[in-house]
């Protein structure tokens, strides 16, 4: 096993992790809500069932997530390699993967941000189990795709 030093970004990764943690903490402290993306988006999609005052902060949160890459481009410049990820998958594969992730969040009653970032920080055993299951499924999937399917 070797370390890919060209793509090793400990400082950027640490900064990103700190920003995710700060955003989750600010949302809990300022709004009393957990930063679970699937719950935030799911409530928005429920339309009339979502309380009117709750829609504004949810829309602002999702807008912030969507705007982050463009803000990063402004700060770091258009030539940053972090802004040019390559995804070696067909659109159909991405749609199926997205649907499977959505199905998994329904079964787990939350997503990696809700369970992995917020739930574990609150000491939730259910979140610890869910995050362990997310990670194990990811490890098995990567192993299968790279070594068994012929990726």
Tell me the three state secondary structure of residue 149: coil
Q: Give the residue from 21, 12, 43 showing the smallest Cα distance to 113.
A: 21
| Residue pair 82/9 in contact by the 8 Å Cβ criterion | yes
Question: Is the entire prediction scored with pTM above 0.85?
Answer: no
Domain ranges in the chain? 1-85, 86-151
For the chain, 151 residues long, give each residue's pLDDT as a single digit of tens.
677 777 777 888 888 889 888 988 998 898 888 888 888 888 888 765 556 567 888 888 889 888 987 887 788 766 665 556 677 888 998 899 888 888 888 888 888 888 888 888 889 999 999 999 989 988 998 899 888 876 5
| Residue pair 141/135 in contact by the 8 Å Cβ criterion | no
């Amino acid at each position: 096993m070797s370390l890919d030093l060209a793509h090793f970004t400990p400082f950027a990764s640490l900064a990103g992790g700190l920003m995710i943690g700060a955003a989750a903490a600010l949302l809990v402290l300022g709004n009393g809500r957990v930063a679970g993306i699937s719950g935030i988006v799911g409530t928005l999609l429920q339309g009339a069932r979502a309380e009117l005052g709750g829609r504004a902060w949810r829309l602002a949160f999702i807008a912030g997530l969507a705007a982050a890459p463009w803000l990063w481009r402004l700060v770091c410049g258009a030539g940053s390699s972090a802004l040019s990820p390559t995804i070696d998958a067909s659109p159909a594969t991405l749609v199926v993967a997205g649907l499977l992730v959505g199905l998994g969040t329904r079964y787990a009653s939350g997503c990696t941000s809700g369970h992995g970032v917020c739930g574990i920080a609150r000491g939730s055993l259910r979140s610890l189990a869910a995050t362990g299951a997310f990670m194990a499924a990811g490890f098995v999937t990567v192993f299968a795709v790279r070594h068994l399917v012929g990726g």
